[in-house]
Amino acid sequence: MPNFAIIGSGAMGSAVAKRLIDHGATVLTYLEGRSEQTIARAKAAGMVPVGRQELTKAELILSIVPPAEAIKVAGLVADISSEMQAPPPFIDLNAIAPKTMQALAARFEGSGIEVLDGAIIGGPPVPGKPGPTIYISGDTAGRSRLLEDYGLRIRRLDGPIGAASALKMCYAGINKGFIGLGTAMLLAASRSGAAESLKTELSESLPEVDRKLSRSIPDMYSKAYRWVAEMQEIADFLGDDDPAATIFRGMADLFARMADDVEGSRLLVGQLDEILARPDIDR
């Protein structure tokens, strides 16, 4: 029975852990300084809390944290593995830009630790369903095959470190960028008194768009705070010379506003809920 270590016990990290555990693996995690909610989630998934040095007993160490924490986690793993003769490989599975991934990998230079670039596309694993898909690049030795053996869907990319991160940036830019665009326009319609007409037109002429926004926007509220850094990473990925980078910096500001609203007045959320729940619209 292999040991995996997962740093990050949020909705995705704990669900990935449960998938591995359900297929017979043991999953170690480090919970010092984490919230009661995070600790409860990790224990409910069956993860085993250990001291940080014990994480190195795993065959693979996975990082599944918000983008802003990715470099910090890499530093932790580099530190605890520095004295080991054969440290376990480290797989970063966070939504970060290729240049952030390269900076992260640089933290391990001279350590002998094999660093792999990963990207998770899809929601947290759900019992009875095969997803999400985890893309891995830089895996010339096939280290990620062990994850396949324990229930995860792995696709290896031929490209070097940074290729999986680039794929994630492009996919998230389309998917989450679309949700951000829909949110912005629905709020604009609400402010200008055009919300009901917009919803009617969407349901008639773009029913698939209407259905996606009706599902995705409410689901976004609790995640908006995590999407802020991801939008900033996408902007960095595009670069200052690409005018589209400005779009994603704007998306970061939009999601920050939504995150503040969830924690505070909830006025914007209330506006969107009212628009999306109009009874005269056939979804």
Q: For the domain that residue 203 is a member of, what is the CATH number? A: 1.10.1040
User: Is 282 within a domain?
Assistant: no
For residue 35, what pLDDT is reported? Answer: 87
> Is residue 265 over pLDDT 60?
no
Identify the band that residue 267 occupies on the pLDDT scale cut at 50, 70 and 90: low
pLDDT of residue 110: 84
Task: Kindly report the pTM of this predicted structure.
Answer: 0.90
Residues 237 and 189 in one domain: yes
Which residues are CB-neighbours of 264 under 8 A, at least 6 positions away? Answer: none
Contact status, residue 273 vs residue 262, Cβ threshold 8 Å: no
- Cα separation of 151 and 125, whole Å? 10
Q: Which two tokens stand for residue 211?
A: 């259905």
pLDDT band, very low/low/confident/very high, at 76 (cuts 50, 70, 90): very high
Residues 13 and 95 grouped into a single domain: yes
Last residue of a domain, one of 110, 145, 160: 160
Cα within 13 Å of Cα(242), Cβ side:
11
How many structural domains comprise the chain? Answer: 2
Residue 270 has pLDDT above 70, yes or no: no
Res 193: pLDDT: 92
Pairing of strands 115-121, 133-137: antiparallel
Q: Which of 160, 181, 201 delimits the end of a domain?
A: 160
Q: Give the mean pLDDT of the chain.
A: 91
Query: Quick one: average pLDDT of 168-180?
Result: 97
Predicted confidence band of residue 142 (pLDDT cuts 50, 70, 90): very high
> Which H/E stretch holds residue 236?
helix 224-238
Give all strands (DSSP E) within the chain, no chain letters.
3-7, 26-29, 48-49, 60-63, 90-92, 115-121, 133-137, 153-157
Token code pair at residue 135? 């893309």
110, exposed or middle or buried, with CB in 10 Å at 0-12, 13-18, 19+? exposed
**Per-residue confidence band for 111, with pLDDT thresholds at 50, 70 and 90:** confident
Q: In the chain, what percentage of residues exceed pLDDT 90?
A: 78
Confirm whether 283 is domain-assigned: no
* More reliable by pLDDT, 276 or 214: 214
Residues 121 and 171 in one domain: no
Q: What is the mean pLDDT of residues 198-221?
A: 93
By CB atoms closer than 10 A (0-12, 13-18, 19+), residue 256 is: middle
Domain residues for the domain of 54 are 3-160
Residue 34: inside a domain: yes
